[in-house]
Amino acid sequence: MLWVVSAVFVALSITDAHVDQNPALVVRIHNAASLTVRELTIAKDQVTVIWSREGIHIRWDESAASGREIGLDVTLDRSMKLSPLSSGRFALAVTHICQSDSPSITVMLATVERFINVGTSGERLVLGDSVIIRQMLIGRVVGRSIAHEMGHVLLGSVEHAREGLMRPQLTTTELFADDMNGFRLTAQEHERLRLLLSPKAEPTILSDGLLKR
Ligand SMILES: [Zn+2]
C-alpha cells in the first residue's frame, strides 16, 4: 500500500485593524494534498464557525498578512498513528508548542478515517457508506479537531476544560453532529483569550514547550 503524506501549511496572523476591535486571524493555506476540496471546505468552515463564536474572525486568504503574526503549520498526515490511550481512546490530532519553533498541529488522518469507517466500537457505521456523508463527516471531524488544537495555540496552554471545545475527549455523536454548540470555549477561556489578544497584551502565546493532544 502506498502511504500518502500530505501537508497543509497554515500561517496565522493577527491584525488589529478590524471594525469591531476584535483581532482577525488570517489563515493562508499553501498546500493541501490529501483531503478532497469538499472535505477541506467543510473542515475550514468548522474552524471558521467555531472561532467566530469566540470573537475570532478567521479569513482564509492567500494574500500577504500584516500585523502581529503567529506562524502555524497544520499537517494532515495519513502515516502517523499514536498508540491508543488508556481505555482504548485514540488521539485524532496533536499540537506541538515550543519556544524555538512555530506551533504546529498534526491531524492523524488514518485515525480519523478509521474513526469514520468503523467507529470507536468496531461497528461499521451505516452512514459511512455514502461518499457524500463520509466526506462531510471527515470535514467535520478534521475541522473540529483543528479548532480544538488551535485553542491550545491561541490560549497558550495545554490545559483541558470540563466542557466545551477544550474538553480532552469528544464523543462520536458530538464530532459527527450538525449541532456545534458543544464546541464553545468556557466563559473563563473566552475571557483569557480576549486578554491575550488585546492590543496591550504581550505576545506570550508561544510560551509552552510541551506536546499535548
Ligand atoms: Zn487538547
Question: Which positions ≥6 away from 59 have C-beta within 8 Å?
Answer: 24, 25, 26, 27
Q: Report the separation in Å between the CA atom of 147 and the middle of ligand 1, taken as the mean of its atom positions.
A: 10
Q: Report the separation in Å between the CA atom of 91 and the middle of ligand 1, taken as the mean of its atom positions.
A: 9
Per-residue pLDDT of 148-157, as tens digits, reads 988 988 888 8
β pairing state of 57-60 and 24-29: parallel
Q: Report the separation in Å between the CA atom of 169 and the middle of ligand 1, taken as the mean of its atom positions.
A: 8
Residue ranges of domains in the chain:
8-201
Q: Report the separation in Å between the CA atom of 211 and the middle of ligand 1, taken as the mean of its atom positions.
A: 10
| Dihedral, 1, 138, 77, 174 alpha carbons, nearest 10 | -130
CATH number of 8-201: 3.40.390
Q: Report the separation in Å between the CA atom of 213 and the middle of ligand 1, taken as the mean of its atom positions.
A: 4
Check residue 161 and give its pLDDT: 94
Q: Report the separation in Å between the CA atom of 19 and the middle of ligand 1, taken as the mean of its atom positions.
A: 31
Task: Decide if pLDDT at 172 tops 70.
Answer: yes
Q: Report the separation in Å between the CA atom of 140 and the middle of ligand 1, taken as the mean of its atom positions.
A: 17
Per-residue pLDDT of 114-138, as tens digits, reads 888 776 555 555 555 688 888 899 8
Q: Cβ(210)–Cβ(94) under 8 Å?
A: no
Determine phi and psi for 116, rounding to 5 degrees. Answer: -70, -40
Check residue 144 and give its pLDDT: 92
Check residue 196 and give its pLDDT: 84
**More confident position, 35 or 50:** 50
Q: Report the separation in Å between the CA atom of 167 and the middle of ligand 1, taken as the mean of its atom positions.
A: 7
CA 2/CA 133 separation, integer angstroms:
25
Share of the chain above pLDDT 90, in %: 14
Q: Cβ(135)–Cβ(85) under 8 Å?
A: no
Q: Report the separation in Å between the CA atom of 161 and the middle of ligand 1, taken as the mean of its atom positions.
A: 9
Q: Report the separation in Å between the CA atom of 63 and the middle of ligand 1, taken as the mean of its atom positions.
A: 30
Quote the radius of gyration of the chain (alpha carbons, Å).
Answer: 17
Q: Report the separation in Å between the CA atom of 2 and the middle of ligand 1, taken as the mean of its atom positions.
A: 30
Q: List residues bridging with 101 in a β-sheet.
A: none
Check residue 183 and give its pLDDT: 94
Per-residue pLDDT of 40-91, as tens digits, reads 888 888 988 998 888 887 776 555 445 555 556 676 777 777 766 666 677 8
Question: Which positions ≥6 away from 117 have C-beta within 8 Å?
Answer: 124, 125, 128
CB atoms within 10 A of CB 78: 17
Q: HSE on the CB side for 78, CA within 13 Å?
A: 13
Please state the rounded mean pLDDT for residues 22-27: 62
| Strand, helix or coil for residue 80 | coil
Q: Report the separation in Å between the CA atom of 1 and the middle of ligand 1, taken as the mean of its atom positions.
A: 31
Check residue 33 and give its pLDDT: 39
